[in-house]
């Protein structure tokens, strides 16, 4: 039986190691990220103390999710003119591509250096209904300036749906039991959803709504337990044809000593405040900033998206940078 293995990468500035990260071969998960803040070390992502607990994790802690992140309504869409039925795992819908996909596969380590690790994974044609053999390669690389770059490349032998993302739960506070963070989202638009969290197809302005985070606001505190599991648009056109990252969102610790900046070449970001986290964690203990295509994009003609094909592999980059 394959065992869970972790790969440590470090970001070093001069003689000092500012960042120490662990990534596992199970789900290509970001297990921990320890960083220097003043004279203390903080772990800024939620993770299990026992690696075997990831086998029963239902929250996608730290995982690469996909091939297609987020939800697809009624678990079906048309691909290259043919209707495809996918394996539902959330009522009639499919979330993060269903059961036993990237988040629960053992990945192969291709290369491991001091500051980077490259992992790969493959799914066979028809897995959970997805057409084509799908191959993914992910590179985690940490810089001396505390910037984690996650480079993702997806190849398929047929037209297929692809749009994976990273799913770490961030908590920047000195004590992870403290849930309050300050959140900013650099978005003018969001995609309203129905009662099953499937987009209605509308692209709505955040003006005069609770989804306007263009100015920093506190979330996940006792005084403001605002719940978010919503998609915000950074661009109304598909930006993944170029590897140019642009700001998506940021979160700041309650003591204002640490800020995490998320950027990507994806056109949207899902912001999730951890409503459904369960023991050993607590509700709202971590915040996910998930750059991606909009949920249900294959079924929504006005959402920025493209299908992955042999002639057009998907190349995306996600950056999480810490500043002090």
| Residue keyed to tokens 């749009």 | 163
Bridge partner list, 30? 23
CB 312 within 8 A of CB 322: no
CB 129 within 8 A of CB 85: yes
Distance CA 9, CA 29 (A): 13
Residue 280: cis peptide before it, omega within 30 degrees of 0? yes
| Residue keyed to tokens 């903080």 | 42
> Is residue 127 classed as helix, strand or coil in its secondary structure?
helix
Distance CA 72, CA 199 (A): 9
Q: What angle do CA 149, 152, 156 make, to 5 degrees?
A: 175
Q: Which of 167, 189, 230, 261 is catalytic?
A: 167
Bridging pattern class, strands 246-253 and 181-185: antiparallel
Distance CA 121, CA 173 (A): 33
> Distances from the Cα of 26 to the Cαs of 2, 8, 61, 142, 155, in angstroms?
9, 14, 11, 20, 20
Distance CA 167, CA 53 (A): 17
Residue 167 is among the residues annotated as catalytic for this protein:
yes
Tokens of 25: 């071969």
Specify the length of the chain in residues: 324
Q: Which residues contact 4 (CB under 8 A, 6 or more apart)?
A: 24, 25, 26, 51, 52, 54
Residue 290 is among the residues annotated as catalytic for this protein:
yes
Active site residue ranges: 167, 290
């Amino acid at each position: 039986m394959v065992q869970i293995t972790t790969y440590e990468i470090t970001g070093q500035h001069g003689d000092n190691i500012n960042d120490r990260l662990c990534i596992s071969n199970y789900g290509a998960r970001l297990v921990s990220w320890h960083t220097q803040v003043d004279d203390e070390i903080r772990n800024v992502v939620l993770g299990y103390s026992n690696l075997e607990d990831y086998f029963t994790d239902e929250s996608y802690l730290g995982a690469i999710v996909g091939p297609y992140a987020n939800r697809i309504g009624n678990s079906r869409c048309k691909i290259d003119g043919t209707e495809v039925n996918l394996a539902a795992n959330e009522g009639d819908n499919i979330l993060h591509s269903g059961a036993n996909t990237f988040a629960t596969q053992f990945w192969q380590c291709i290369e491991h250096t001091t500051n980077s690790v490259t992992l790969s994974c493959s799914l066979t044609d028809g897995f959970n209904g997805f057409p084509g053999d799908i191959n993914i390669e992910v590179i985690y690389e940490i810089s001396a300036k505390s910037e984690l770059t996650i480079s993702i490349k997806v190849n398929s032998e047929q037209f297929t749906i692809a749009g994976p993302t990273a799913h770490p739960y961030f908590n920047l506070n000195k004590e992870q039991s403290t849930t309050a963070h300050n959140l900013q989202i650099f978005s003018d638009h969001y995609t309203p959803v129905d009662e099953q969290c499937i987009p209605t197809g509308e692209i709505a302005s955040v003006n005069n709504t609770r989804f306007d985070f263009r100015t920093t606001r506190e979330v996940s505190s006792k005084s403001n337990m605002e719940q978010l599991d919503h998609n915000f648009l950074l661009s109304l056109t598909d930006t993944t044809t170029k590897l140019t990252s642009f700001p998506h969102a940021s979160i700041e610790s309650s003591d204002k000593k640490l800020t995490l900046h998320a950027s990507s070449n994806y056109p949207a970001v899902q912001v999730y405040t951890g409503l459904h986290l369960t023991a050993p964690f607590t509700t709202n203990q971590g915040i996910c900033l998930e750059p991606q295509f909009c949920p249900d994009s294959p079924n929504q003609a006005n959402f920025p998206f493209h299908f992955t094909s042999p002639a057009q592999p998907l190349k995306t980059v996600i950056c999480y940078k810490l500043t002090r």
